[in-house]
Structures are given as C-alpha cells and as structure tokens.
Chains A and B, each alone.
Chain A
Amino acid sequence: MNAVRRSPVLLPVMWLAVTLVVLAAPYAGLLDESWTHQLILVALLALIVSGLNISFGHAGELSFASAAMYGAGAYVSGYLAMEVLNDFALALVVSAVVGLLLGLLTGVPGLRLGGWMLAVASFFLVLLVPDVVQIFSEQTGGNQGMSGIPLPELFGFELGDTGLYVVTVLVTSAWFALFRNLVVSRLGRSLTVLRESPVLASSLGISVFGLKLKAYALSGLPAAMAGTIFAYLNGFNAPGSFGIELTMAVLTASILGGSRSVYGVFLGAAVMQLGPMRTTAFGDYALIAYGVLLVIVGVLIPGGIVGLVRRRRRTAQPATTAAGQAEATARLTMPGRRLEVSGVSKDFGGVRALTGAGFVAGPGEVVALIGPNGSGKTTLLNLISGFYRVDAGTVRLDGVTVSGRPAAAVARAGVRRTFQTPLIPGMSVREVVASGRFSLDRAGIVATVLRLPRYRRALRRDRAAADEMLAAAGLSGVAAHRADALPLGTRRVVELARALAGEPAVLLLDEAASGLDEKEVAALAALVRAVRDGGGTVVLVEHDFGLVRSLADRVVVLSQGQVVTEGTPAEIAVHPEVLQHYLGAPGGVEARA
C-alpha cells in the first residue's frame, strides 16, 4: 500500500481503475437498482464526512455545520432545477459556492474563540434549518417539504437512475482525488501543525487566521455538493433530513473511519450506511446507539476523541539516534541579518518584566542572554519573536522595525526560534524539518490540490532544504522516524534544523541545552557553531554557563528585567557584579561567617 501511495504514477492509475470499475458495475450487471441507490447514499455520506474531516480531523476544530450545508446544497439545487434551469452541473457548481460561503460564515465566530463556541454555533445552525426553511417557505415548500424536483438533466440529457449513479461516482472520485491531494500536501501538513499547536504555526510564519478560514471554507464544499445529488435522488427535500440525527451520523462515521484518514472516510460511511448502524434497521435505538458510541470512543481512545487528532503516544527509540548526530556535516551558508533590540520594556499586569532592555546581534555572531530566574530572558525572546507586544522600545532587523507585528509576520520577516519545550507535531523528522519552509514559496490551494508546477517546485525545494539541514544536523539516519518519539536531545536538534530550513535572518534558541546530557549538548553546539560560521545571527538564552563560554562570542547579562552588563564570556566570568546577580541578590539576610 505504501508503494502505491508514494509512486506518482501508480496511485492515479489505480484511482482511475477503481473509478472505472465502480462506474461500469451496473452496466455489467453487477449491481442492481437498489444497490446503486445504496452506493449513492454511501458516496453522499462520504462526501459530507470528508468535509467534517477537513475542519475537525485536520484543523482540529469541531463544527457540526455539515448537515446545514448539506441542506443548503439540496434546497438550492432543488430550487434551481424547478425555477431556473434544470442542469446538474449548474446546480453542483452553485451549491459548491454556497457551501464554501457557508463554511466561511460558520467559521468566522469560531476564529475568535475556543472550540466550544464554534461547535455550539454550528450546532445551532443545524437547529435553525427548519426555521430558515419555514421563513422562505415560498421557495422551499416550508415544513411540508420541497416536492417536485425533476429528474436531473446534464447538458440537455436526462439522467436516469444509472445516469445519476455515474455522475455521483465521478463527482465523488474527483473530489476525493482533490481531497487526498489536499491532505497529503504542504497545506495538509500545515493543518497538522496548526492543530497541534497554533503557537508553533505562527512561529513558522503560518497565519493561523488565514489557514483556519481556508479549512472552514473547504469543509463546506463537499457537503453542499452532496446536497445537490441528494435533492435529485429523492426528488423531494424534507427539512427533517438535515437535522441532528444526520449530524450525529456524520460525526460517528468520521470517528469510525478515523478523522484524519482519507480512505477511512469510505469505511466509516459504508459502515454507517450499510451496516447494522443504519437508521432504518436501528429505528428507535439509533440515537441511543450514536450516543453510546460517542461516549465510548470519547473515553476509550487515548486522549478522547480530540486525542484521535492529536499525536500518538511516544515510544522509546533506539539509542543509535544520538550517535548519528556526532557525524554532523557542518557546511552551511546562512547569511544572517543584524538584530537591534533597543529600549524594550514590558509590563504584565503590574509586574515589570523588562525595563529598557536592549542589545545588538550581528551576522556571524552568537550572542548569549544569561541571568537568574525572573530576569526577563525568555520574555525578551518572546518579544523579539512577536509573541508578546512591546510596551516600549523597538526590535529591528537590518533597520526594519518588526516589533508590533504579529508573530507569524515576524517569522516571515526571518526571525525563527526554538521553544523551551520542543513543539514537535506527529510527523516524520524530514516532514518536521521541511515544515520550517512552509511560509516560503507559497502555493495556493488550487495549485496544491491540482499539483501544478508551482506546487511541485515548492515541494522540491522543501525536500532539498530538508535534506541539507538533516545532513548538517546529523539527522539523516532518523529522517523517516516519528519525530515526536525521539529523545529530548534529538528533538531539540530537530527543532533547530527546522528553524534553519526556514532560511532565518536571526535564530533564537530558548534554553536549548536544558535537560540534555553532554553528548547531546555537544551535538547542539556543533550545529550552532556551523550556523555562526556560515554567517548566521544567533541569539541564545542559556543557563549552562559552560556552554555559553564555549559557544558565545558575546554575553549579555540580565537581572530583574534590565541589562546589567555585556562582554565576552571570559570577561563576564570574572565580573564580580555578575556573580552577585547570578548567584543571588546582594544584601538582605546577613551571611554567616
């Protein structure tokens, strides 16, 4: 199966083959009318579930709006067929647009707040379907339902049952090809990053806002298209078809098949539609069954249902990974830029974290920020990278002010960083490192799903950059391993490699050596040195003074939110004031003799 997935030729061929087989089945006498009817229903459910998967499984935001978009597609199509023009293609396209817009509409409130409110808003939307239908009862037939939808026509030809089946298979196959291309792409991996950590996404230059909107919009598309088919299939639209029961069925199908799986969608849809769970068989027990399933899955799957879309548990990795790092080939050209921090102050609700702090770091330099707990080192780093806003002062890159811009913009300007606790999503090492480039060479959605040359170029560059960084960091041996399962020291190096892949102007390291053993620290230091020698600008926050001595060109000492002094590591090591600040506040309790 993996071979099929990876080969650029085999997969499309197989896809086409399967589509043709399914298409031809009724003509070959393999499927009778009731079966084609069932298969259409499976396809419809699969379409709706795929939409849910985009926003829920991949972006990590639970929205129940699918049923509403399904209904919107169905009603719009029915209306078009009866009052405007009976053409399947027209109805499909209009529905798709409606679905896109509705997806955006329901997502906008969700952007401002936590997942709960999006889930609630979308749930509410579904509850409103009967009311909206009633208000437009002239067009929709109100609570009586919309009846009299004619048999579908396509470019003048009437589609019979088999004709509708064929069209459904084609639409489903085409959509899922695009869906698959979306999931297995830079965009899909951006969604994974977003889902696991919006902070990480911002630090890679990905706009959380924009990406979420894309996900919401895309999730509405397939559901609405499915609505078109549904309307033509029944010739009748009842508001009750687009309610809570359908919503529960969709959610259940998504979870059954695996909310992040492409092919699992069909599995879930098939089970729900054909298996013992189908509403007609269960009848009165349907709701109870759905509810029990939700509770069970919610509880038993590690991390709950949300855990299905989270990383899996870490498993121990062999120790050989650490050895690989020692063979890092350190050849990097990384032109850095000049970082100027001046007069920066930051207040947190009455607590002064930084007062007038500033320093300069130039290309080909490693500057270390040291100081005791609470001195403001990490706050300063967060301010430089845009995660906090400065109250006063500026941060400039080669003279261009970046302070005041949101984190994603600062990252795109070239400031890349690592975190005290490595933020590593559940991807392979190579994919993690490549994700450092996601804000570079951006290819739009269309280019991505259609695999246009622009996208392919970006992908090639990603791969090249990842390979280069992996080699430089000595990670080539573990390139295919799950990154989040590796030991802490290796994860730190992976984070660093990822930051480097993004062609940073300035590299910020936040206590990268903490928690590492000697070997791991050495590997990290070697990589940092390679960056510096290649012309990069590095700023590191460190507690380990030994590391600072061996690595830093200059040391800036912070205490209680202010810069106390600056100098070379040798100067700082013997500076009497530094010792005082570092080891403890002078005065206070009398020292014992």
Chain B
Amino acid sequence: MFASIVSGMALGAVYALVAVGYNLTWLTGKAINFAQAGFAVAGMFLAVWCYGQGLSPVAVFAILVAAGGLVATVEYVVALRPLRGRGEHAELITTLGFSTIIQGVILLFVSDDALRVPFFGPEQLIDVPGGRIAPVELVLVAVAVVVGLGAHLWATRTRSGLAALAQSEDRDAALVLGIRPERISFVVFVVSGVLGSVMAPLAGPKTFAAVALVSLLAIKGFVVLALGGVGSLLGALVGGLAIGVVEAVVVRLTDAAFQNIAVFGIFIVTLLVRPRGLFGERKERYV
C-alpha cells in the first residue's frame, strides 16, 4: 500500500505542478492558461527527441526553458493580451485553442501511441513496503513541494509577489502606486509556461508522453484548482497530491477504468459541497 501511495503522490505532484501554473497566472492576471498541460506534454516529446540526439540533461533543460519561454510569449501575445478587459471567460476559448494547436503540432511529428521518457537520474527501482518505487517518483514529489512552497512564499513574502497580488486585487489602486500590471501578468505568464515545460523531464518518466495526456492533465489540473481552492498555491500542492493518492488507491482497489471517474467524482462533490475548495476564500454573494 505504501508503494501505491508514493506512486500516487508522484502522479499527484504532476497535477499539483499544473495547478500551480494555473494559480500563478490566476493570481496575477485573473487568467487561466488551458495550455499549461500542453507545455508539459510537448516538453516531454521534445525531451525524448533531445535524449535521442545524445544531449545532456543540462542541455535538455536549457532547451526546454528556451522553448517554453518562447512559446509562452507567443501565446501571451496572440491569445491573451488582445483580450485585456474583455471579461472572464474570454481566455478560456483562446487558450483552449492554443492547447489544441499544441496537440496538433505534436501529432504532426509523432504517432498516437504513448512514448517512454527516460529519466536522467537513477532508474533503479527501490524496494519499499508494499512494492517498489522509482527514484523519479520521489524526485517529483520533492520538486512539487519545493515549487509549491516556493511559489507560495514568493506570493506572500516577497515585494514582487506582493505587488503582483495587489494589482490583481485592485488594478486601479495598483496603477496609482506605480505598479505595472501588464508587465507583471506577462512575466508571470511566461514563467508559468516555462514551469510547465521544465517539469517534462521529471513528469514524463512517470506518465509517459502521449497526446491524449494534454487534455487529461489539463482537466485534472482544474480538479486540483477546485479542490485546493482557486488562487491558493498551497491548496494546489495539497490538492494535487491528494488527488494523486486517491487515484492510486482507487486503481489498486478496483480497476484502471475507474481512475478518472474517481477524480471526476471528487470534482463534482467538491463543487457541490465546498465550492471554494479547501483553502479558497469565501465570496460575498447576493441573495
């Protein structure tokens, strides 16, 4: 059982990282990038290709950072900036479109099957009570915790984080204090995109690279948002890990086909029972 839980947490770590990406752009620009998962999956395929060319892990990371940054910039300019001030759901369609484009591009180069992504670290399985786990799984969880905590600390303890949150809370008030909301939204957006692509060499060995993963990962990231609370970075970390564990336990106890259904169940129950999520804030509502 212990092995299943660790394994589940590793998968949950991937979800958490996607959700952290969502939350970062949400906190700083009230926008959610549906293509976040697309960055990760595209990164996986790119990583496989890079390994195939004999490039070192460091080079691979560098390429991923550059590619992620570039594509995120393009996405921001094309699919987000023109929508300034258009209302809440506008970027849903355009980032969904962008995600679809990413999927299409991947399909151009690769077939429909899932691809194995080698891990640049030790691949020797470790014996633990209940089974065996791969080192990459431990690294994934550790990275998710670091990134989640780090993002949270940035948002709550640093000046730049403070300015970013403030301008999201009240744009005009921020403007008169010399804060530049445009710049902040852009930078954080690109950083989120890079976060997405950079997690690929870690997530890939766990999930396998497959085009179908883009939509699935994107959606599960949303479930994490709902469970953890939109806007809570810690919520994204906790929620993601929790969902991963639930998935693993469900698969172990029943059948693989119930994996996604269980997550869907969590989603619906959360929305109905505690819409603001575990760490989210209550909204003042009209009667």
A residues adjacent to B (C-beta < 8 A):
62, 108-109, 112-117, 119-121, 123-125, 127-128, 131-132, 134-135, 199, 244, 248, 284-295, 297-299, 303-307, 348-349, 386-389, 406-407
- In the complex, A124→B216 CA distance in Å? 8
B272: min CB distance to chain A, Å: 6
Q: A284 contacts which of B83, B98, B104, B272 (Cβ < 8 Å)?
A: B104
Q: What is the bound-complex CA distance between A297 and B79, given in angstroms? A: 10
- A131-B259, A135-B257, A387-B287 known; A291 and B98 CB under 8 Å? yes
Contact of A115 among B88, B97, B99 (CB under 8 A): B88
At the interface, yes or no: B275 with Cβ under 8 Å from chain A? yes
Evaluate contact between B98 and A295: CB separation under 8 angstroms: yes
* B residues in contact (CB < 8 Å) with A: 32, 78-79, 82-83, 86-90, 92-94, 96-105, 107-108, 215-216, 219, 222-223, 226, 255, 257-261, 264, 267-268, 271-272, 275, 284, 286-287
A and B contact pairs by CB, cutoff 8 A, 13 listed: A112-B271, A116-B89, A135-B255, A135-B258, A287-B103, A288-B100, A288-B108, A290-B97, A299-B78, A299-B79, A304-B94, A307-B86, A389-B287
In the complex formed, the residue of B with least CB distance to A409 is: B287
Which residues from A are CB-within-8-Å of B261?
128, 131-132, 135
Tell whether, in the assembled complex, residue B100 and residue A248 are in contact, meaning their CB atoms are under 8 Å apart: yes
Contacts of B103 in A (CB 8 A): 287, 291
The residue that B287 contacts in the complex, of A62, A135, A285, A388, with Cβ under 8 A, is A388
Is A304 touching B90 in the complex (CB atoms < 8 A)? yes
Q: Which 10 A-B pairs have the closest CB atoms?
A: A294-B97, A287-B104, A291-B100, A288-B104, A291-B101, A304-B90, A295-B97, A298-B94, A298-B93, A134-B257
Docked pose: A199 CA to B286 CA in angstroms: 10
Contacts of B255 in A (CB 8 A): 135
- Beta-carbon contact of A127 and B271 below 8 Å: no
Say whether B267 contacts A121, CB under 8 Å. Answer: yes
In the complex, which residues of chain A have a beta carbon less than 8 angstroms from the beta carbon of B258? Answer: 131, 135
Residues from chain B with a CB closer than 8 A to the CB of A304 are 83, 86-87, 89-90, 93-94
Q: Which residues of B contact A121 (CB under 8 A)?
A: 267-268, 271
Partner of B32, one of A116, A244, A295: A116
Partner of A127, one of B79, B88, B215: B215
- Per a CB cutoff under 8 Å, which of B88, B104, B264 touches A114? B88
Alpha-carbon distance A450/B284, docked complex (angstroms): 42
Residues A295 and B79 in contact, CB atoms below 8 Å apart: yes
- Among residues of A, the one whose C-beta sits closest to the C-beta of B271 is A109
Give A309 to B216 CA distance when docked, in angstroms: 28
In Å, the complex CA distance between A233 and B97 comes to 31
User: Chain A nearest CB: distance from B208 CB in Å?
Assistant: 17
**Is A298 within 8 A of B267, CB to CB?**
no
Of listed A121, A248, A292, A295, residue having the most chain B CB within 10 A: A295
Q: Distance (Å) between the CB of A393 and the closest chain B CB?
A: 15
Do the beta carbons of B267 and A124 come within 8 Å of each other?
A: yes
* A114–chain B nearest beta-carbon distance, Å: 7
Min Cβ gap A119→B in Å is: 6
Residue contact B89 to A303, C-beta cutoff 8 Å? no
* B216 neighbours in A (Cβ, 8 Å): 127
Query: How far is B101's CA from A292's CA once the two chains are assembled, in angstroms?
Result: 7
Q: In angstroms, how far is the closest chain A Cβ from the Cβ of B7?
A: 20
Closest to A383 in B: B287
Shortest distance from the beta carbon of B72 to any chain A beta carbon, whole Å: 15
**Most chain A beta-carbon contacts within 10 A, residue among B83, B98, B264, B286:** B286
CA A307 – CA B91 in complex, angstroms? 12
Given contacts A125-B264, A305-B93, contact A290 B100 (CB under 8 A): yes
Given contacts A131-B258, A291-B100, contact A306 B264 (CB under 8 A): no
B contact residues around A113 at 8 Å (CB): 271, 275
| Interface SS of chain B | helix
B78's contact among A248, A295, A389, by CB below 8 Å, is which? A295
A461 CB to closest chain B CB, in angstroms?
30
Known: A406-B287, A407-B286, A407-B287. A123 touches B92 (CB 8 A): no
Q: A121-B267, A291-B100, A386-B287 are in contact. Are A244 and B215 (CB under 8 A)?
A: yes
Given contacts A117-B226, A284-B107, A407-B287, whether A298 and B90 have CB atoms under 8 Å apart is yes
**CB neighbours of B264 from chain A (8 A):** 124-125, 128
Question: Complex: how many Å from CA A293 to CA B93?
Answer: 10
Specify the chain B residue showing the minimal Cβ separation from A404: B287
Q: In the complex, A306 Cα to B107 Cα: how many Å?
A: 29
Q: Which residue of B lies closest to A132 (CB)?
A: B261
A287 touches B101 (CB 8 A): yes
Among B97, B215, B223, B268, residue most surrounded by chain A Cβ atoms (within 10 Å): B97
**What CA separation (Å) do A388 and B271 show in the bound complex?**
24
**Assuming A288-B104, A406-B287, what are 4 further A-B pairs, CB within 8 angstroms?**
A121-B267, A124-B222, A248-B100, A291-B98
B257 touches A306 (CB 8 A): no
Residues of B contacting A109 in the complex (Cβ-Cβ under 8 angstroms)? 267-268, 271-272
> Are A294 and B96 within 8 A (Cβ)?
yes
Q: Out of B94, B102, B105, B260, name the residue touching A299 (CB < 8 Å).
A: B94
User: How far is A127 from B216 in the complex, measured between Cα atoms in Å?
Assistant: 7
- Contact check, B257 vs A120: say whether CB atoms are below 8 A apart: no
Residues of B within 8 A of A119 (CB): 89, 92
A383 to chain B, nearest CB (A): 9
Taken together as a complex, chains A and B put the C-alpha atoms of A127 and B258 apart, in Å, by: 12
**Min CB–CB distance A296 → chain B (angstroms):** 8
A256-B217 Cα distance, complex, nearest whole Å: 28
Q: How far is the CB of B279 from chain A (nearest CB, A)?
A: 17
Query: Contacts A125-B264, A128-B260, A304-B86; is A117 near B97 (CB within 8 Å)?
Result: no
Cα of A112 to Cα of B100 in the assembled complex, Å: 28
Contact B286 A387 (CB under 8 A): yes
Task: Give CA–CA (A293, B104) in the complex, Å.
Answer: 13
Contacts of B287 in A (CB 8 A): 386-389, 406-407
A303 to B91, CA, bound (A): 11
Residues of B within 8 A of A407 (CB): 286-287
Task: Please name all residues of chain B whose beta carbon is closer than 8 Å to the beta carbon of A387 when the two chains form the complex.
Answer: 286-287
Q: Interface centre among B92, B268, B284, by most A CB within 10 Å? A: B92
CB distance from B257 to the nearest CB of A (A): 4
- Tell me the nearest residue of chain B to A118, going by C-beta: B271
* Distance, CA A558 to CA B105, complexed state (A): 64
Complex: A116 Cα to B219 Cα, angstroms: 11
CA A109 to CA B100, docked complex, whole Å: 25
Q: Which residues of B contact A303 (CB under 8 A)?
A: 86-87, 90
Complex formed: what's the CA distance from A53 to B216 in Å?
A: 25
Q: B101 to A298, Cβ gap below 8 A?
A: no
- Complex interface: chain B residues within 8 A of A134 (CB): 257
Residues from chain B with Cβ under 8 Å of A298 in the complex: 79, 83, 90, 93-94, 97
Contacts of A123 in B (CB 8 A): 215, 219
B90, A115: Cβ atoms closer than 8 Å? no
Closest-by-CB residue of A relative to B109 is A284
Q: Which residue of A lies closest to B287 (CB)?
A: A389
- The answer for the CA separation of A248 and B214 in the assembled complex, in Å, is 14
Chain A nearest Cβ from B268, distance in angstroms: 6
Q: How far is the CB of B36 from chain A (nearest CB, A)?
A: 13
B residues in contact with A120, CB < 8 Å: 219, 222-223, 226, 267
Query: Closest CB-CB distance, B109 to chain A, in whole Å?
Result: 10
- Inter-chain contact A124/B219, CB cutoff 8 Å: yes
Closest-by-CB residue of A relative to B90 is A304
Instruction: Evaluate contact between B89 and A295: CB separation under 8 angstroms.
Output: no
- Please state if B104 and A285 are interface contacts (CB–CB under 8 Å): yes
- A62/B92 contact (C-beta < 8 A), A123-B215, A287-B107, A303-B87 known: yes
Q: Which residues of B contact A135 (CB under 8 A)?
A: 255, 257-258, 261
Write the nearest CB–CB distance from A319 to chain B, whole angstroms: 31
Q: Kindly state the separation between the CA atoms of A115 and B90 in the bound complex, as whole angstroms.
A: 11
Return chain A residues, CB-CB under 8 Å to B268.
109, 121
- Give complex CA distance A532, B218 in Å: 58
